Structure 1
Amino acid sequence: MPPVILFILKALEGRGAERMVTTLASTYVQMGYNVHILCLEGTQDMPLDAGIHYHVVPYNEVFIEQNLDPGSKQAQAYKKVATRIDDYVLSQIGTPNLTLVNIYKLNWIMTYSRLPNVVNVLHTALSKQFEYQLLDTPVQTLNHLRMVYGAHPCSCVSEGARKDLVSLLGEMTATTTIYNPCDAAWIQRKSVQITHIEAFGLTHKQYMIHVASFDTMKGHRELLQAYAQTAQKLPLVLVGKGTLETEIKALAVELNINNHVRFLGFQTNPYPLIASAALMLVTSKFEGFGYVIVEAQALGVPVISTDCPFGPRELLPTKNLIAVGDIEGLAILIDQAVDNLIRYIVPLNEQLLPKHIAQQYLEFGLISNLLGNESYKKDYRPLNKSLETGE
């Protein structure tokens, strides 16, 4: 029997962590592994390639408030969920050779798991994700995070996120940096599928695009405020869904730019829209990685981004970056990029191709579990140094 690779996450929603999981899962299938994705919710925005086994093991619990107390009802419920996952995996899948656990809630649940060969994958910076809890209840929050992320080796999707983890919690586990994979060939194939952009009132290479969920960290408000200060030579296309969408639509009206902004909602295949765009904009307040940056690079689309913690600065040169919150600077950079698009094209770094990333996870999981977490964290050095993004 081929070795078993298991991915665990909340649901197959259309965000960066889920894209990482589906891309790696497809790669491991091509490498001959027995690949499984296990979710706790049945939502599936992401299609799966043939050969990937998909499972849903529901929570069967409802949690109203987050409680970090290890003796809380929520923690006790999570222990039951971990037992349910373990029983299902061992009876229906078999013992995994590598289990990659994505998203904080699952990282917490799998703290109580008895499965071997578990690696936690951190897709964002803990200091940002838990900023308010660290201010309100610092001791309790730090103890909780050490419990969660000290249980298994941790891989972070950018070097900045890894350094943030170590700075916040100390050297309490083996850590490494493994960037998110970018399947450039697959993205390019998806980008040539027929999408009638004219139906959205768009013309090829005559619009800018922003692809992100409508939540605070993605910076839609700042983006619209900056766009209102530009020459507005190109319309702005917003792709995504989320709780703030209505608020952002109202802001576009308030800023009197609603005739220049298109809200296209969530797109299962956004790549034809990205490939046809003149410019990709990223305005996040923080990122673990910044998936849309490398997707645009794979399609040869120029990108400008906020210099947020922690991913973009590892993927783009300084000239493509602007400080978070600098509305006027962002407006100036947008106009500069529109006037000289070629200057802001950055080729995709081949270190990010899926076959390289998949091998790094295998090496990290194998070596860390062979040596044991305590000895490994003392001797191990990150597999992947920060990407070079010189001018």
Structure 2
Amino acid sequence: MTNKVLLCHSTIAGNGATISVLIEQANFFAGLDYEVEVITFSGSKDSRFDERVKVTNINSLSKINIIDSSVSVLSLIGKKITTRLPDLVTSYIFKPFSRVNFVFNSDKDLVSKVYSAFNYKIIENYCDGSISSIQKYYKKFKRRDLRFKNGRLNYVSYYEFGVKTKTNYYNGIGLKYLEKIWNREEIEVSRTQFTNSGLISKILKKHNGQCVQEEKFKGFFRELVVTKNLGEDVGTCNYIVKSNILNRYIESRYGEGDAIISVNQTMLHYISTLKTKATTIGQVHNSWLSQGSEYMASFEFAIKSSFRLNRTVFLTSGALEYIKGNYGVRNGIVIPNAISDVEKKFTPFEEKLMLDEIKLVIVARLTDIKQIDHAIKAFSLAIKENSRLRLYIYGEGPSRGKLEKLARELEVSEFVFFMGYESNKDQIYSDKSLLICTSKAESFGMTLVEANSYGVPCLSYDCPYGPRDIIRDGSGILVDLNDITELTNQILNPLLYTKRYSNESLVNADRFLKKKIYTEYEKIIEKGTN
């Protein structure tokens, strides 16, 4: 059996679907006596994690570029400089120089020290007893110029053949906060900003004085790249590149017989860079496969990295076939998301028939891709035929305001209830009769499985790529994407409100129980790299 399993996720903050999947997977492996660790760079350990699961926030591993002010700076010849410089970034330790010259002014104050050796010269300049600058010359054509202010390093400039190529700027506590790079014509081509923790926060790349690319970082990772043209954003790519500090941490802990799993796309590229004998598995969760998605560049970046993994897991057969046909991925496998096998509390079908209302439910982020306005429009037509219908919408998001406005305009606001975010699944599904999904695209459609597990049939657009894999005959109905008229007709279809459909929904949900799904991951891990 594998000794250790590492699950990588860019964040465990919030209530997203992939975070729920992450928690379920971590707890499953912990229950099988694996040593489980979750690595993230946003959020802290959630109470839903098994107590045996270790959660490591990347930012706690180490802080870089921070100066230890208690360390005395050593001189270039291995002896302490008379003037103590606790805030100098680097301790200078070199082989002894063949010649050292001291320069004094008329008051016999030290003005400079000149260290000379073959192809190497260093000049230390002093003012009022404190060092003011250091020039370092390499092989006659390279120079490094260190400037000090009040005994503290202010900036360091780098030169080649007399042309400045780079300057690093340091704040009053010795942290690098800015780096500028110039080309041979001394035109600035990039500017890098650093956080107070010494981590990169932003890189601006320039051409002819204009910003052409902006890269934003989160923790140790490049998170977002925005391409610009004449100041306008023309492209966006989300991804994560390697961090040497994190690499050393993981590669020293996880090896042959262990497993490293990326639970979201943004970490997929990262684990593909690791030099390890552990089994590496990437999971593709997000609905970025839809053509024209603003995240398509990020998706393609992740997929091209997946060739280096042992396995890439897709949630649906449609997604896998698309990737095979368009990107040639050959290590793909379909493993859907899983639901907990915890006993659920819900209203028996016979009791629902006795209720005054027929409760329809939507569970989704309130964003444009979910097209909840389609459901409200269909509902407004259906309620004219069946006055018992009511629509409950669970979730939050930027579209809530305009959806509430739409309900008022269609004169159904008293029958449409915006419930906000709710984590209690019993509360959401227990007394509902039908779940509606009108998404433009889905990575899987977890709410469809959750609804079925409560005996609630589903009515969904046949969008790429989840619903077709989930809904089986009797557990719900698929309608053509964006066909609001047919959606309305099916809301009024009496078959969806029968005991047969309720029972078939329960049977269908059993296919996605955790104990059945996650054993597929066990098989991959046990097979390893064979």
Q: TM-score, normalised by structure 1?
A: 0.77
Q: CA 1:254/1:111 → structure 2, altered by over 3 Å: closer, same or farther?
A: farther
Q: Structure 1, residues 72-98: CA drift from partner, whole Å, max 9, x if none?
A: xx99x9434x4343334456x655811
The answer as to 2:122 corresponding to 1:122 is: no
Match of residue 359 from structure 2? 207
CA pair 49-145 structure 1, distance change in 2 beyond 3 A: closer
Cα deviations by residue, 1:362-387 (Å, 9 ceiling, x for unpaired): 222443x423xxxxxxxxxxxxxxxx
The residue correspondences of 1:137-176 to structure 2 (distance < 5 A) are 144-152=301-309, 153-171=311-329, 173-176=330-333
What's 1:28 paired with?
29
1:179-223 deviation line (CA, Å, top 9, x unaligned):
11122x32x34x47xxxxxxxxxx797421111111222221211
SS of aligned partner of 2:6: strand
Give yes or no for contact 1:127–1:168 (8 Å, CA) kept in 2: no
Higher radius of gyration, 1 or 2: 2
Q: Which stretches in structure 2 are left out of the alignment for 5+ residues?
A: 61-198, 203-214, 217-222, 228-235, 347-354
In 2, Cα distance between the equivalents of 1:3 and 1:335?
53
How far the C-alpha of 1:333 sits from its partner, in A, is: 0.7
Q: Distance in 1 between matches of 2:21 and 2:284?
A: 11
> Structure 1 residues 44, 245: closer, same or farther in 2, change over 3 A?
farther
Secondary structure of the corresponding residue to residue 54 of structure 1: strand
Alignment partner, residue 370 of structure 2: 218
**By percentage of residues, which structure has more strand?**
2
Deviation at 1:234?
A: 2.0
Cα distance in structure 1, aligned partners of 2:298 and 2:449: 33
CA offsets, 1:273-327, max 9 Å, x none? Answer: 2122122112222212211111111111222111111111112136611111001
Corresponding residue of 1:359 = 519
Q: Structure 1, unaligned stretches of length 5 or more?
A: 135-139, 193-202, 372-391
1:38 aligns to 2:200 (yes or no): no
Q: Any residues of structure 2 matched to 1:264-279 within 5 Å, and which? A: 264-279=419-434
**Partners of 1:141 and 1:55 in 2: how far apart?**
25
Q: 2-side partners of 1:268 and 1:32: how far apart?
A: 28
Matched residues, number:
345
Could you tell me which amino acid in structure 2 is paired with residue 113 of structure 1? L
Cα deviation digits, residues 6-29 of structure 1 (max 9, x gap): 211122332322222222222212
| SS state at 1:287 partner | coil
What SS does structure 1 have at the residue aligned with 2:508?
A: coil
How many angstroms does 1:338 deviate by? 8.2
The 3-state SS of whatever aligns with 1:150 is helix
Aligned to 2:418: 263
Question: Deviation at 1:144?
Answer: 3.4
Aligned to 1:387: none
Give the letter for the 1:329 counterpart. E
Q: Which amino acid letter does the alignment assign opposite residue 356 of structure 1?
A: K
* 1:85 paired to 2:246: yes
Aligned match of 1:350: 510
State the 1:125 CA deviation.
5.1
CA distance in 2, matches of 1:105, 1:350: 30
Moved more, 47-56 or 152-161: 47-56
Query: Matched residues in 1 for 2:357 and 2:50: separation?
Result: 31
Q: 1:304 is paired with a residue of what secondary structure? A: strand
Give the match for residue 97 of structure 1.
258
Answer whether contact 2:36 2:54 (CA < 8 A) is retained: yes
- For residue 248 of structure 1, what is the aligned residue in structure 2? 403
> Does structure 1 conserve the Cα–Cα contact (< 8 Å) formed by 2:457 and 2:496?
no
Q: What SS class does the counterpart of residue 308 from structure 2 fall into?
A: coil
* Residue 15, structure 1, aligned to residue 22, structure 2: no
- Retained in 2: the 8 A contact 1:125–1:161? no
Rounded to whole Å, the distance in 2 between the matches of 1:256 and 1:28 is 50
Structure 1's 366 and 174: CA in aligned 2 closer, same or farther, altered over 3 A? farther
How far apart are the structure 2 equivalents of 1:280 and 1:257? 18
**SS at structure 2 position matched to 1:127:** coil
Partner of 2:220: none
Residues 142, 214 of structure 1: alpha-carbon distance in 2 compared, 3 angstrom cutoff: closer
Write the distance in 1 (CA, Å) between the matches of 2:318 and 2:480.
16
The higher relative CO (CA closer than 8 Å, separation ≥ 6) is in: 1
Q: Does 1:331 align with 2:332?
A: no
Q: What is the match of residue 233 of structure 1?
A: 388
1:3 aligned to 2:14? no
Instruction: Please name the residue that 1:313 is paired with.
Output: 468
Which residue of 454, 461, 467 maps to 1:299? 454
Higher helix residue share: 1
How far, CA to CA, are the matches of 1:285 and 1:309 in structure 2?
8
Instruction: Confirm whether residue 50 of structure 1 aligns to residue 211 of structure 2.
Output: no
Between 261-270 and 37-46, report the one with greater CA deviation: 37-46
Contact 1:20–1:180 (CA under 8 A) maintained in structure 2:
yes
